[in-house]
Amino acid sequence: MIFVTSGSMLPFDRLFKIVDSAVESGLIKDQVFGQIGEGSYEPRHFDYTRFLDKTEFDQRVKSASLVIGHAGIGVIIQALDSKTPLLVLARRSEFGEHVNDHQVATANKFEELGHILSFDEDSLATKLRQVASFTPVPRTPNVKGVGEAVSDFLQTLVHDPSRA
């Protein structure tokens, strides 16, 4: 089963239209279930709900053969922790889906690291073929490096309080 989600913060009709069209055309043959949030588009070719509670959401991610979602860091980390392949469609500011294109940068970086695959309207078919043999590279958080960066920043505040 493929689980498609846009998170719970903002509508993302473009994602659900693309997936719905792919199911209708037969490009996606697997059963699909979506958490579609508060968008105005309602899929016609797969089952969905507006929102799931955290327990059910977590279970859907863990049991899915594939997650298709937005390029939010939460869904990326959750899919990686669950070892579930993830295809992401970045929200774009030009479509009014977000205030800037930070999800494009996030998708590009995580794909470059081998953690996910990203797609757009023109590359879904290619990425669906790739995901069949895709194994996400496990992430190794750099806890020490992050801690050191925070410590270094805090030290600059101690020495130069005007930066605060």
Between 68 and 160, the higher pLDDT residue: 68
Give pLDDT, residue 164: 58
The domain that holds 22 is classified in CATH as 3.40.50.2000
Question: Does 127 reside within a domain?
Answer: yes
Give pLDDT, residue 69: 96
Give pLDDT, residue 9: 76
Determine the structural domain holding residue 130 and report its residue range.
2-138
Question: Does 25 reside within a domain?
Answer: yes
Number of domains the chain is built from: 1
pLDDT for 122-158, tens place per residue? 999 999 999 999 999 988 877 888 888 888 888 888 7
Q: What percent of the chain has pLDDT over 70?
A: 97
Question: Does 97 reside within a domain?
Answer: yes
pLDDT for 89-123, tens place per residue? 998 877 777 888 889 999 999 999 999 999 998 99
Inform me whether the pLDDT recorded for 64 exceeds 70: yes
Q: Write out the two tokens for 106.
A: 């996030």
Question: Does 112 reside within a domain?
Answer: yes
Beta-strand relationship, 2-5 and 32-35: parallel
Question: Does 159 reside within a domain?
Answer: no
Residue 149's H or E segment, with its range, is helix 143-159
Residue 96: CB atoms within 10 Å: 11
Question: Does 148 reside within a domain?
Answer: no
Question: Does 149 reside within a domain?
Answer: no
